[in-house]
A and B are shown apart, each in its own frame.
Chain A
Amino acid sequence: MADRRVLAGIAALACLGLLIGGAFLGLVLEGAGDWSGALAASDAYLLRVSLFTLWQAALSTLLSVAPAMLVARALSRHPSFLGRALILRLFALPLALPAIVAALGLLELFGRAGYLAGVLGWLAGGDWPGIYGLSGILVAHVFFNLPLATRLFLEALDTVSADQWRLASQLGMRAAPSFRFIEWPVLRASLPGVAGLVFMLCITSFTLVLMLGGGPRATTLEVAIYQSLRFDFDPARAVMLTVLQIGLTVAAVYALSRLGANMTGDANLSVASPRPPAAGPGETAFNAILLGAALLFVAGPLAATVASGLQADLARLASEATVRKATATSLVLALAASVLAVALAWSLVAARRALAASRRSGSLLERAMDTGAGFVLVVPPIVIGAGWFMLVRRYADVFAIAPAMVVTVNAAMAMPFAVRAIRPAYDAAADRHDRLCAALGITGWTRLTLIDWPVLKRALATAGAFAMALSLGDLGVVALFGSDSVQTLPYLLLARMGSYRTADAAGVALLLGLLCLALMMVADRFGRGTVR
């Protein structure tokens, strides 16, 4: 019985290994076949792309993390004011929003023909060129990562005990000393983890760079891989780029794990516990302006998405066969990916538990089930996709395997998040039930339906909804494998933008955004009502 759980975990690891191994096989075969080509491809262009990848990630991290500290501090200094809960909820939204939808929202706000083009042009004293290029990438990365970093810092600040705050107010500490003695130590402790996570997200970011980078001058490795496969068809260069990307992420992950970074962001929202530091009027005014600016920055693109989406001819879009088919394809593929992700996560969690309970705990296998599985995130979807692209093209039609690739890669990418949702509930239930079930002889199917399912269904639903939202909004793999016959909503959106049917794109973006949002709300709802 324990063996069966371990076997399930080994099977899950094998699936992940097959997915990643197949990709590497594709790369190796391609590189071996045309070794000189791969070497010849290492030119100045590659160096420039690599450096730009690092440079934009470093700048994005700085611009996200430094303001996030101030915003988090402002939120923590004012534990109750009208709209605080709203800000926190709003800050959870970017994580739920597909990158392509956010990119469109940013373009509709800051783009050449955006809502703010007039104002920005007047400020710049001329025609507003739009935010393509590095500026666009930075704005987009800050839009996503400032709220994430803020919530992580706020979580850290919430760990300061109420007694410390009481002590601070008793000692008459004002803003500066209490920042120095109480807040800064906590923020500094969580800084490496938060900055590391943001940096990691920025060097592997694909969609935002593809949409907003606009041209060879502002291209990262991931986008270059995509372009070399889809446009230039230069597999030798793709191999080189992929190797570089893997090297870069592995180095980053290694550095991060040394810093103790948390590799998977959390979708759940923590609510601050009330506590009593009193801010002076000057500080209150400063914080109000800061929070107002952050609010506008995050809410603006969201509002632009909704506004321009509503202007689209939604009725015509809804009756269009292509849109309907893409919606159905998206939902089916995302559902399949979500079921697969939950199954993988469940198997790994159960196997880890079974191994931890056995006498040989702490084994290599147990660690593989535990942290090892999370390192799937090291290999970006584009890299896996590129590897399989090169492998399959030797034997079959690449576009025919699109559905399988989208489902499996998205499932693998969502799996670490699903593990985080399922594991606490599973371990708590196992603590309570394992011996009891053994004593009463409740096993197999009976145990699954009678004991495990009722206790775990909420956690499984949370994980499933979250995984489904992630895969629904993903553009990475489908950008490589998509075609007219297999279109998902993000792919359709990209296609409509490519053919300058911007209003259509806005309508599709609204639809996609709402679908993902609904799923995230489901995930949040189930996640919050925890089983006792």
Chain B
Amino acid sequence: MNETLSGIALEDVRFRYPDMEMHFDIAIPPNAITAVMGPSGSGKSTLLDFIAGFRAPESGRVLIGGADVTGLPPDRRPVSMVFQENNLFAHLDVAKNVGLGRSPSLKLSAADHEAVADALRRTGLTGKERRLPRELSGGERQRVAIARVLVRNRPVLLMDEPFAALGPALREDMMELIATLQAERELTVVLVTHHPEDARRVASHIAFVENGTVAASGPAADFFAPDGPEAFRRYVGEAVSAGDLPRFARKPT
């Protein structure tokens, strides 16, 4: 549905933390899911913050769909973001939380209400419009956040370990949902994850972040090949052995 597909580019973006220097230079392909992987504290979330606009680089440019968005505030960028938690306002019900994606002051037209209802149907939340976030399960809360992404209708979707707090089966379901929506709306999805299975299942591209910089990026198939980037193989080797445990436990007994 997007006339122009929105690729993302970070051009020589630099930022100094007191104890670490960040330097990103990467092109993220449009209409695809890119998984961002890497050790804790390597700068994955900071990378997303630059794209979303929560953090301004000290130098360099951020481009989305070819347009320079470096100086734009978060809400003026063609971007939606789903956080690991705190995606919802606890004192507002499901419909209002989704409606905020249409109007930040909740002034909703009939068409907006229809869009909200449609997004809730799409994410399997019909009938739960009047519930408060605390009356929902963890998975349902993230579905509300995704429903809001749908009504916002922006070409780029950023997700920072959105399903890390969910169990394996639920996480699989959510990944399916994301993959479906991505294909349907031709979204450019950037997904931070610790789970190689997620990356393997839904991502066509991978960016591997280490020590505040993109150490390697490219098609997912190359990464998982036996001659993939060495640092990535080392990281996944550890992660897979840890990540395999729950799958083992889930075997029917």
Q: Is the pairing of A and B real?
A: yes
The segment from A94-102, A419-427, A435-443, A465-473 that touches chain B is A435-443
Residues 93-136 of chain B, each 1 if its beta carbon lies under 8 Å from chain A, else 0: 00000001100111000000000000000000000000000100
Q: Interface readout for A273-299 with B: 1 if CB under 8 Å, 0 if not?
A: 000000000000000000000000000
Please name all residues of chain A whose beta carbon is closer than 8 Å to the beta carbon of B80 when the two chains form the complex. 439
**Smallest CB-CB separation from B58: which chain A residue?**
A359
Instruction: Tell me whether A450 and B101 are in contact (CB under 8 A).
Output: no
Residues of A within 8 A of B100 (CB): 440, 442
Does residue A70 face the partner (Cβ distance < 8 Å to B)? no
CA of A436 to CA of B144 in the docked complex: distance in angstroms? 14
| Residue B74 at the chain A interface, CB threshold 8 Å | yes
Task: Give the tally of cross-chain contacts (CB within 8 A).
Answer: 52
* Contacting residues of chain A (448-471) with chain B, CB-CB under 8 angstroms: 450-451, 454-455
A410 CA to B246 CA in the complex, in Å? 60
Docked-complex contact A435 and B83, CB < 8 angstroms: yes
With A446-B105, A450-B105, A450-B106: A439-B90 Cβ-Cβ less than 8 Å: no
**What separation, in Å, do the CA atoms of A443 and B87 have in the docked complex?**
17
Interface of B is mostly: loop
One digit per residue, 1 when the CB lies within 8 angstroms of any chain A CB and 0 when it does not, for chain B 42-74 equals 000000000011100000000000000000011
Nearest residue in B to A455 (C-beta to C-beta)? Answer: B91
Task: Indicate if the CB atoms of B74 and A438 lie closer than 8 Å.
Answer: yes
What separation, in Å, do the CA atoms of A451 and B79 have in the docked complex? Answer: 22
Q: Is the CB of A432 within 8 A of B86?
A: yes
B75 touches A (CB below 8 Å): yes
Residue of A436, A439, A451 with most partner-chain B CB within 10 A: A439
How distant is the Cα of A440 from the Cα of B81 in the complex, in angstroms? Answer: 9
- Report how many residues on chain A are interfacial, defined by Cβ distance under 8 Å: 18
**Bound Cα distance A441, B52 (Å):** 12
Q: Is the CB of B91 within 8 A of A454?
A: yes
Closest to B81 in A: A439
A24 CB to nearest chain B CB (Å): 38
Chain B residues, CB < 8 A from A531:
90
Q: Which residue of B lies closest to A443 (CB)?
A: B104
Knowing A432-B86, A451-B89, A532-B134, the reply to whether A438 touches B104 (Cβ < 8 A) is: no
> What does the 1/0 interface line of B176-217 toward A look like (CB < 8 Å)?
000000000000000000000000000000000000000000
Report the Cα distance A432→B134, complex, angstroms. Answer: 14
Partner of B90, one of A431, A435, A532: A532
Interchain CA distance A531-B132 in the complex, whole Å? 14
Task: Find out whether the CB atom of B104 lies under 8 angstroms from the CB atom of A446.
Answer: yes
Residue on B with the closest CB to A445?
B105
- When C-beta atoms are compared, the residue in chain B nearest to A449 turns out to be B105
Of all chain A residues, the one with the shortest Cβ separation from B86 is A432
Q: CB within 8 A of B52: which of A432, A439, A443, A446? A: A439
Shortest B84–chain A CB gap in Å is: 11
Q: A interface, by DSSP: helix, strand, loop or mixed?
A: helix
* B76 interface hit (Cβ, 8 Å): yes
Could you tell me if B86 and A436 are in contact, using CB atoms closer than 8 angstroms?
A: yes
* Known pairs A454-B91, A455-B91, A532-B134; A442 contacts B104 (CB<8 A): yes
Residues in A with CB closer than 8 Å to B74 are 435, 438-439, 441
Chain B residues 140-170 with CB under 8 Å of chain A are none
> Within 8 Å CB of B76, what residues of A?
441
The docked-state distance in angstroms from the alpha carbon of A355 to that of B16 is: 18
Q: Is A48 an interface residue (CB 8 A)?
A: no
CB contact list, A392-448 vs B, under 8 A: 431-433, 435-436, 438-443, 446
A432 to B54, CA, bound (A): 14
Q: Chain A contacts of B54 at CB under 8 A?
A: 435, 438-439
Chain A residues with CB below 8 A from B134, complex form: 532
> Which 7 pairs from chain A and chain B are nearest by CB?
A441-B75, A446-B105, A442-B104, A438-B74, A432-B86, A441-B104, A454-B91
| 26 contacting pairs across A/B (C-beta < 8 A) | A432-B86, A432-B90, A433-B86, A433-B89, A435-B86, A436-B89, A438-B53, A438-B54, A438-B73, A438-B74, A438-B75, A439-B54, A439-B75, A439-B81, A440-B104, A441-B73, A441-B74, A441-B76, A441-B104, A446-B104, A450-B92, A450-B105, A450-B106, A454-B91, A455-B90, A532-B90
